[in-house]
């Protein structure tokens, strides 16, 4: 499999080089030259396959010969060695719980897969690799956990000061060793812009071996297809494919879902559920893509004013808006609506959502009201305890804290505070 840049000004590369590079030299994102179609036999008999077999069959065409099959199977098995259950909430709405991994968030899948792929690729390199990543919340913890103590890899994580939850902050600032957290006085978009500028600095890249662990990296983005297939495996009415609502910030997750659909996964419709950062909902109404400065919300991992991965969604549909609209719709949910939904679902169904899941739930509920014969799945992307400071006042109860988080909350935060200036980031990278 070869990958081209969405800006079409860089050479094509294989999976290994795309993973190591992170972003293409022309600032575009890598995209597969072909979208493979899964054999119908797997889809039609999906319940007879193990999750490990499904995931391997999904990812193998994208990896090609870059990793031997025996090693790829090991990487896949280590990536998905926790539960991903589909839980019934109402007769029409099911929740795909993606928070049973080590950092209680959906990004564990991508981060674990990428860390193992990159670890495999760099083991014979003489130069140390620096993984540089900006996070609006859960990416930081997942990447920190996935790469912790990996030989030959330093990890530098930028996060916006005061704009991630206390649990998220502890998960990305308490590990130490090869994990370095930079607390930036600014927004996630500031962090992301600093990272992008570093990757395009030719002089710096001659001195350092840099790569990214954001969802712009193909090894982070592509394995997110796995759990869409796992959801369908657990989906009872196979003759009536689900509508899937995805809480969306940087749009890597929903892009992976759409990619899975194009590869053969039965899905009726996708809903990109956004918070007040409504760039894509506006685009779906007007066909005008107008990035804005990110607005802070209680669903902070989705506080993105210029979603990097939306270009990949456009690429899937060859920039044909009429075809995109057949598959995708998008809406914006306010903080108050998020709180109201969280409270109502807990009171009536005794199911506890996190703020991001609540955004997705309301978006799905509204869609189903207009399409009453359909049923759907909301992606519950993080454990509610990660946002206990938002959730507890809404439900009037204490959210039980998993033991792993209890221990982490006691650890000392280790971060370096910097202004949102790219020269300061460059100086830090050169000092490692």
SS3 283: helix
Residue 390 DSSP symbol? H
The alpha carbon torsion through 169, 174, 175, 178 (nearest 10 deg) reads: 80
Radius of gyration of the chain (CA): 20
- Contact call for residues 112 and 258 (beta carbons, < 8 A): no
Class of residue 37 by CB neighbours under 10 A (exposed 0-12, middle 13-18, buried 19+): exposed
> Hey, where are the domains in the chain?
83-106+221-399
> In a 10 Å sphere around its CB, with 0-12 CB exposed, 13-18 middle and 19+ buried, how is residue 149 labelled?
exposed
Whole-angstrom distance, CA of residue 213 vs CA of residue 131: 6
For every residue of 111-131, which 3-state class applies, written as one string? HHHHHHHHHHHHCCCCCCEEE
Q: Counting beta carbons within 10 angstroms of the beta carbon of residue 44, is it exposed (0 to 12), middle (13 to 18) or buried (19 or more)?
A: exposed
Q: What is the pLDDT of residue 323?
A: 96
**Length of the chain in terms of residues written:** 432
3-state SS string for 234-281? HCCCCCCCCEEEEECCCCHHHHHHHHHHHCCCCCCEEEEEECCCCHHH
Consecutive 10-residue runs of the chain (432 residues): their mean pLDDT?
97 96 91 96 96 98 97 97 97 97 92 92 82 85 89 92 89 94 94 90 90 88 98 94 97 97 98 98 96 92 93 96 97 98 98 98 98 97 92 95 83 94 96 91
Token pair, residue 173, equals 């600032």
Which residues have a Cβ under 8 Å from the Cβ of 347 and sit 6 or more positions away?
none
In the set 16, 107, 233, 375, the catalytic residue is 107
To the query of whether residue 123 is one of the catalytic residues in this protein, the response is: no
Fold for the domain defined by 83-106+221-399: Rossmann fold (3.40.50)
Q: Cα–Cα distances in Å, from 185 out to 142, 173, 182, 420?
A: 22, 16, 10, 6
**With a threshold of 0.85, does the pTM exceed it?**
yes
Q: Are 7 and 26 in contact (CB under 8 A)?
A: yes
Q: How far is CA 22 from CA 188, 248, 311, in A?
A: 19, 21, 16
């Amino acid at each position: 499999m070869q990958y081209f840049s969405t800006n079409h000004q860089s050479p094509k590369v294989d999976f290994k080089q795309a993973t190591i590079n992170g972003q293409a030299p022309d600032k575009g994102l890598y995209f597969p030259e072909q979208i493979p179609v899964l054999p119908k036999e797997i889809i039609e008999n999906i319940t007879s396959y193990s999750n490990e077999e499904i995931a391997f069959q999904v990812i193998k065409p994208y990896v090609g010969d870059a990793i031997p099959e025996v090693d790829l199977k090991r990487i896949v098995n280590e990536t998905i060695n926790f539960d991903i259950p589909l839980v019934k909430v109402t007769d029409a709405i099911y929740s795909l719980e993606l928070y049973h991994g080590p950092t209680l968030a959906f990004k564990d899948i991508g981060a674990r897969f990428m860390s193992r792929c990159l670890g495999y690729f760099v083991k014979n390199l003489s130069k140390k690799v620096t993984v540089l990543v900006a996070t609006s919340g859960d990416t930081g913890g997942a990447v920190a956990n996935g790469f912790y103590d990996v030989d030959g890899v330093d990890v530098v994580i930028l996060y916006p000061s005061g704009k991630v939850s206390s649990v998220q902050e502890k998960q990305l600032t308490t590990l130490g060793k090869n994990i370095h957290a930079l607390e930036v006085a600014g927004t996630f978009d500031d962090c992301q812009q600093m990272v992008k500028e570093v990757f395009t600095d030719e002089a710096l890249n001659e001195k350092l071996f840099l790569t990214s662990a954001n969802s712009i990296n193909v090894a982070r983005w592509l394995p997110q297809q796995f759990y869409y297939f796992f959801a369908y495996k657990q989906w009872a009415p196979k003759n009536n494919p689900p509508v899937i609502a995805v809480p969306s910030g940087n749009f890597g997750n929903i892009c992976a879902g759409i990619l899975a659909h194009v590869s053969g996964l039965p899905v009726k419709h996708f809903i990109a559920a956004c918070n007040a950062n409504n760039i894509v909902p506006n685009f779906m109404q007007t066909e005008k893509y107008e990035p804005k400065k990110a607005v802070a919300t209680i669903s902070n991992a989705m506080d993105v004013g210029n979603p990097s991965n939306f270009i990949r969604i456009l690429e899937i549909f060859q920039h044909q808006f009429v075809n995109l609209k057949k598959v995708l719709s998008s809406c914006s949910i306010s903080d108050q609506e998020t709180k109201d939904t969280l409270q109502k679902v807990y009171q009536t169904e005794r199911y506890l959502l996190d703020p991001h899941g609540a955004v997705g739930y309301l978006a799905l509920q509204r869609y189903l009201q207009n399409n009453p014969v359909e049923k759907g799945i909301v992606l519950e992307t993080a454990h509610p305890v990660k946002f206990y400071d938002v959730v507890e006042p809404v439900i009037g109860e204490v959210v039980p804290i998993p033991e792993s988080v209890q221990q982490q909350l006691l650890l000392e935060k280790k971060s370096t505070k910097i202004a949102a200036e790219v020269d300061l980031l460059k100086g830090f990278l050169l000092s490692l």
